[in-house]
Each structure stands twice: as C-alpha cells, then as structure tokens.
Amino acid sequence: MLIPEALIAEAAVCIQRLQRQSLKVSFAESCTGGLLAFVFSCVPGVSSVLFSSVVTYATRSKHFLLGVPQQEIDKYGVVSEEIAGMMAENVLKTLEDVDIAVSITGIAGATDHFTNQAHAATGPETGVVHMGLAKRGSKVQTFRYDWNHLSRFEVQKAVVQKAIGLLTLAASS
C-alpha cells in the first residue's frame, strides 16, 4: 500500500495555509486508523500546525477518550453525523491550543486491498463515512460520504483527501 505523492502534496498545501494563519489542528480518527495524521506527518514542518491525533477505532473509545456520551452513541449509532460532530466538538473543548478539529467515523469497507476479497463486514453501511469539522468561533459542520464501491484502502485514501480539502478551506476562511 503506497500513499500517493499527490495526497502528500495536497497535505503540504493545506499545512502551508494553516501555517500562514497560525492555526493548530487535531484529529480524531476511526476508520482511517491514523492515516490522516500519517499523511500530514510526511510533510516537513508539520509540527508547527499538528497538535495531536487520536485513533478512536473502538466504539467505547469515542466515549472514554473523546467524551461522546454513551446514550448519544446508542441513540444515533457510532457511524453518524451526530457522533462525528460531537467527536470534533469535544476535541476543541478539551484542547484549548487547538483551532480546528477534524473527526472521522465510518466503515471503511471489507474488501482486502491485497486480495480484493470481501470479508464478513459487508452491508448497507460499508463505505459510509461521516466527518466533523469544528473551528473555534464557528458552528460544527458535518459531512456524509458513501464510497461503497471502493476497496477498504481506497475508502481510507478518499476520506483523507476529503479531510485535507475541508481543512484547506477552513484555513482559508
């Protein structure tokens, strides 16, 4: 699995915009497993903008690490716009040095990138991803994407690309 150079180049542009605005970001990732933070970390100078990243892969970790109320998880389901919004919002509440938080929750898919074989976790939510974007002084935004036609790794790359695009826009406004 190779990370496309174009994706790293997009991250570099985003990082430059964040640097120009003196903005710090943090990520709360689930189905991407830290890929967004990894792509950012490939860019020299990222330490001036990347404050932290946490992988909250298990449902319970969203409650224990990010403070998402369990009753909200039970009500909306972990793969939902509501939970994505709460994840991002709670990162900002917890980390006063952070200006923008991005959260990702979803089901990346069950197709193995290497063998192209489907595994047990296929279903209607496969490929569905929700993102949250929280910026200090602004209302939390949430986004829903459906990439059920892509393999697991392709979904993860698509999510990271979307997140970089959203961050770039947020840094420009």
Predicted model pTM: 0.90
Q: CB count, 10 Å around CB of 94? A: 14
**Pick the residue with more confidence: 110 or 117?**
110
Q: Which percentage of the chain shows pLDDT scores above 70?
A: 91
Would you say residue 119 has pLDDT above 60?
no
Q: Domain of 88?
A: 5-172
Number of domains into which the chain is organized: 1
What's the CATH number where 41 sits? 3.90.950.20
Dihedral sign for Cα 72, 74, 75, 80, please: positive
* 13-38 confidence digits (pLDDT tens): 999 999 999 999 999 999 999 999 99
